[in-house]
Amino acid sequence: MTSTPTTREIFFMFLRLTMLAFGGAMGWVYNAFVVKRKWLTDREFAETLSLCQFLPGPNITNFAISVGMRFRGVRGALAAVIGLVGPPTILLIGVGAIYQRLTGIAAIRGALNGLSAAAAGLFVLLVINLLRTLIRSRPVVTVPVAAVSCAAVLSGLLSIPLALLALGPVSIAFAWFRRK
């Protein structure tokens, strides 16, 4: 049995998510929505997630919109998105406002350099995890496609929109014929 949250509950759930989930938001969401609150079944969660990953845009806001809509229509969707991005937007505007002054202080500028190196590492980690996913599923095709797309963008040969247009159809065709 699942229950339906109110608009207010939706807002506060996404507010907590945005404030508490550092990295790996989807694991947190699964635990909160399926395991603890029982607002979604396993199957509903998986189907919603597949929609969010299929469409462009941040997966987590796509998730917020689709479950908000499912529970409480447009009001629910708005409550979810505002809970998720409203407070961080205000916070980051504050960060942006003091950024110039922060970088004027040597120790803070240095700390920021250290954080930048760490944040770059987190992004490399993400690539490693994505590559593991590719290697699990027809790596003979997927790994070379990823390498070509990476090289094309890095070298400046193709912009990201053009690379999607050039490589996307080829790669989709491979996926299409393999599954037939």
Instruction: Choose which of 27, 41, 108, 157 interacts with another protein (CB under 8 A).
Output: 108
Does residue number 157 form part of the binding site for another protein (CB under 8 A)?
no
Backbone angles phi, psi at 157, to 5 degrees: -65, -45
Report if residue 168 touches another protein, rule: CB under 8 A: yes
Between residues 2 and 99, which has the closer beta carbon with respect to another protein?
99
Looking at 11, 13, 18, 33, which residue binds another protein (CB under 8 A)?
A: 18
**CB-hemisphere CA count at 13 Å for 149?**
18
Contacts of 33 (CB under 8 A, 6+ apart): 13, 39, 40, 45, 67
Q: Binding another protein by CB under 8 A: which of 2, 27, 53, 157? A: 53
Looking at 66, 71, 72, 83, which residue binds another protein (CB under 8 A)? 66
Q: Min. distance of Cβ 75 from another protein in angstroms?
A: 12
Q: CB-hemisphere CA count at 13 Å for 122?
A: 9
Residue 172 is a binding residue for another protein (CB under 8 A): yes
Length of the chain: 180
What amino acid occupies position 114?
A: G
Q: Would you say 68 and 76 are in contact if contact means Cβ atoms under 8 Å apart?
A: yes
Q: Is 81 in the site for another protein (CB under 8 A)?
A: yes
**35 near another protein, judged by CB under 8 A:** no
Q: Tell me how far CA of residue 143 lies from CA of 9, 45, 179, in angstroms.
A: 43, 29, 18
Nearer to another protein, 1 or 106 (CB): 106
Q: Which of residues 118-147 bind another protein (CB under 8 A)?
A: 118-128, 130-131, 133-134, 137, 141-143, 145-147
